[in-house]
């Protein structure tokens, strides 16, 4: 309507036969809206906002009787604000799409069968029915049925995962085939998806150093421009020049430069299973110069298998395996699980409980069973042996390490009675990931492991990693990170988020892999990748680098550059208020549009 009124007033002429300037009407309507919105903004922020300059320009056009110019300025400002809102809304679309994944109703088991109730009324312990084609409304454990679950909404992986009784199911994932009954364990904001939504919302508000600098600059911008206006008036006494300066000079583009890019980047990552915790993290990730990779479960599959069992005593291999299984009964380490699985597959279906169990960090485990002290440790156990060990033990360790395996010693009452070797396989995409990290400019890549040097060298060689550190205790990984930071490197640590939590927190950017359903990992890391797709690591770091470049481009070109040139031209009388309004809004629109390109950004490796 405002646009139509402006056209009519322009065609009608400055004044009709009644002596009334029709342009006054659209100027009052558009100007009134701008004055009202500016007044609200000033009262809410208790600061002089950029809108004050536009209000002063409108007052000036009214004072000199240029109502058409005032109406056009008001229209351009309102139209520009609308375009900014529409474009900015696109950057927030990803978060809304994630929120939509949560079903509004859940089929909950009652005494008379399953009944549909609002999902917010579901309680912990409720049994929820999920049929084929439905999304899961809660986090929980499957107690009945089996199905193919599409977890792409969380992990970004398109292939469905087969799940059955005992497996975990997560809210927002899709049951593609089958019927499940799930016992509710987490609801609402406590679910994996709920935590992700909360983190993304917080991330979009967190400000990095660049944003804080821009905000500080913007606070002083308006008073400086008002001072320039006084000088222009003092030298020229040309009110039109003053109004042109007021219209074109606005920190809107500067204020939008960083947050729009951050929102778009966070949304991009979220759609593909990456949770980035705000502008500070994006800035840090964009400056990474060195990457440290944990071996087990990150570079390797973490699917460890027992490949050999030997005896160094009168005990049989079956006895050795039985004692190792007892020692590892309560271990959550992948090696412990591998030994238990191998023992059960070998016929030891009932592994007895140990009377006492404790972790020997960086070495192994220790447990007490039937008055025997059982230990399953790596080669570091030899350092604690008081008597000379059998040469066959050293030969066993050397042979296994040369094959890239991990050698474990089974010790009963301080005597080494047997050995077990386990092996892991490198992830298929590990070598590609390392190559892509190099392509985006990261030259220092380290493999960190508690394994022996030969195994570390073998795995590093297969992955194309030139630097590795072996025989590391958990605290040793911290020392490696500190050493790199002391050399001026910006360090990213990539691990599983649980065992590597201290290293993730010490590094400049902690990236946790495969953390779906793991709250500890999500909290400990700066960037949480829900899937185990290693190629997401260079993808996220490349996205962060691109974000930094676009932020600097937004500030240098569309914010500071346009303002400086515009103010100079307006002060010299080369710009009218109308042209100033067009340029002003064009700069802000270009900032938002430039940032919106990050929504569809994908790293294209060479």
Residues carrying an active site annotation: 294
CA distance 220 to 417: 75
Listed residue (193, 186, 171, 168) closest to 126, CA to CA: 186
Q: Dihedral sign, CA of 177, 183, 184, 185?
A: negative
Quick check: 331 and 308 in contact, CB under 8 A? no
The angle, 0 to 180 degrees and rounded to 10, between the axes of the packed helices 209-236 and 252-271 is 160
Write the CB contacts of 232 (distance below 8 Å, at least 6 apart in sequence).
Answer: 238, 241, 242, 245, 571
DSSP 599: G
Tokens of 235: 């030298």
Query: Strands 364-369 and 180-186, how do they pair?
Result: unpaired
Q: DSSP letters of 70-99?
A: HHHHHHHHHHHHHHHHHHHHHHTHHHHHHH
CA distance 65 to 416: 100
The angle, 0 to 180 degrees and rounded to 10, between the axes of the packed helices 192-205 and 252-271 is 160
Distances (CA, A) of 373 to 59, 107, 312, 414: 89, 51, 17, 8
CA distance 127 to 90: 38
Query: What strand order describes the sheet that includes 147-150?
Result: 161-163, 147-150, 174-178
The length of the chain, given as a count of residues: 606
Distances (CA, A) of 516 to 170, 325, 433, 435, 543: 9, 28, 21, 26, 22
Quick check: 467 and 457 in contact, CB under 8 A? no
Listed residue (82, 71, 86) closest to 26, CA to CA: 71
Quick check: 389 and 372 in contact, CB under 8 A? no
| DSSP collapsed to 3 states, 573-593 | CCCCHHHHHHHHHHHHHHHHH
- Kind and range of the H or E run holding 181: strand 180-186
Q: Which residues of 83-112 are buried (b: 16+ CB within 10 A; e: fewer)?
A: bbeebbebbbebbeebeebbbeebbbeeee
DSSP 349: -
Q: Is 487 exposed, middle or buried (0-12, 13-18, 19+ CB in 10 A)?
A: exposed
CA distance 570 to 582: 13
CA distance 522 to 77: 42
């Amino acid at each position: 309507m405002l646009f139509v009124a402006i056209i009519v007033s322009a065609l009608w002429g400055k004044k009709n036969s009644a002596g009334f300037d029709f342009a006054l009407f659209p100027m009052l309507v558009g100007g009134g809206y701008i004055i009202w919105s500016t007044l609200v903004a000033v009262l809410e922020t208790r600061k002089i906002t950029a809108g004050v300059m536009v209000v002063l320009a409108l007052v000036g056009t009214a004072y000199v009787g240029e109502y058409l110019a005032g109406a056009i300025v008001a229209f351009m400002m309102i139209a520009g604000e609308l375009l900014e809102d529409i474009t900015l809304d696109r950057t927030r679309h990803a978060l809304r799409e994630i929120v939509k994944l949560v079903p509004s109703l859940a089929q909950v088991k009652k005494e008379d069968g399953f009944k549909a109730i609002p999902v917010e009324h579901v309680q912990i312990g409720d049994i929820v029915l999920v049929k084929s084609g439905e999304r899961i409304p809660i986090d929980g454990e499957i107690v009945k049925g089996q199905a193919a679950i599409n977890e792409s909404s969380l992990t970004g992986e398109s292939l469905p995962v087969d799940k059955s009784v005992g497996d975990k199911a997560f809210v927002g994932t899709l049951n593609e085939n089958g019927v499940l009954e799930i016992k509710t364990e987490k609801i609402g904001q406590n679910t994996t998806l709920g935590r992700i939504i909360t983190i993304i919302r917080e991330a979009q508000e967190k400000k990095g150093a660049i944003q804080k600098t821009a905000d500080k600059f913007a606070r002083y911008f308006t008073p400086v421009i008002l001072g320039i206006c006084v000088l222009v008036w003092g030298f020229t006494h040309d009110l039109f020049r003053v109004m042109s300066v007021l219209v074109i000079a606005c920190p809107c583009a500067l204020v939008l430069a960083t947050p729009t890019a951050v929102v778009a980047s966070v949304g991009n990552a979220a759609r593909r299973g990456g949770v980035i915790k705000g502008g500070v993290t994006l800035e840090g990730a964009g400056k990474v110069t060195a990457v440290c990779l944990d071996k087990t479960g990150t570079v390797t599959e973490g699917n460890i298998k027992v490949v050999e069992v030997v005896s160094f005593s009168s005990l049989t291999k079956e006895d050795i395996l039985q004692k190792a299984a007892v020692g590892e009964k309560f271990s959550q380490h992948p090696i412990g699980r591998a030994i238990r699985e191998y023992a059960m597959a070998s016929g030891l279906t009932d592994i007895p409980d140990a009377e006492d169990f404790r972790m020997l960090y960086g070495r192994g485990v220790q447990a007490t069973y039937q008055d025997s002290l059982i230990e399953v440790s790596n080669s570091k156990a030899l350092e604690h042996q008081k008597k000379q060990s059998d040469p066959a033990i050293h030969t066993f360790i050397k042979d296994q390490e040369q094959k890239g395996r991990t050698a474990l010693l089974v010790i009963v009452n301080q005597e080494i009675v047997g050995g077990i070797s386990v092996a892991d396989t490198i992830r298929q995409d590990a070598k590609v990931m390392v190559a892509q990290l190099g392509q985006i400019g990261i030259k220092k890549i380290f493999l960190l492991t508690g394994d022996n040097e030969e195994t570390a060298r073998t795995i590093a060689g297969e992955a194309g990693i030139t630097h590795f550190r072996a025989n590391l205790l958990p605290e040793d990984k911290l020392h490696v990170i500190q050493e790199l930071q002391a050399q001026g490197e910006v360090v990213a640590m990539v691990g599983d988020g649980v065992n590597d939590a201290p290293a993730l927190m010490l590094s400049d950017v902690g990236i946790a892999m495969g953390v779906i359903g793991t709250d500890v990992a999500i909290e400990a890391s700066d960037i949480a990748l829900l899937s185990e797709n290693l190629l997401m690591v260079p993808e996220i770091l490349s996205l962060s680098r691109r974000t930094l470049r676009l932020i600097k481009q937004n500030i240098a070109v569309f914010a500071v550059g346009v303002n400086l040139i515009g103010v100079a031209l307006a002060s010299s009388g080369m710009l009218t208020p109308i042209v100033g309004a067009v340029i002003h809004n064009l700069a802000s629109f270009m900032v938002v549009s430039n940032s919106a390109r990050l929504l569809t950004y994908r790293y294209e490796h060479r």
